Amino acid sequence: MFTSGRIAFLIFFLILFIGYLIWAYRKDIQKSPWYFKGSYKIVLALIGMYLCYFIISRWLI
């Protein structure tokens, strides 16, 4: 299903994509920091919701 080439592309793409998101976030936060006040709470909530979904879906299946 997943060849070694596809896995390598996925890893390469994810590293570049996440790196770009971090770079863009840091650039935007310098321009207008009051937009991003408390944004870490939202990120933590989304990660928590994803983990809950993952745990519950694995537990029920």
pLDDT tens string for the chain (61 positions)?
Answer: 789 999 999 999 999 999 999 999 888 888 887 877 888 899 899 999 999 999 998 887 6
- pTM above the 0.85 mark? no
Structural tokens at position 59: 């537990």
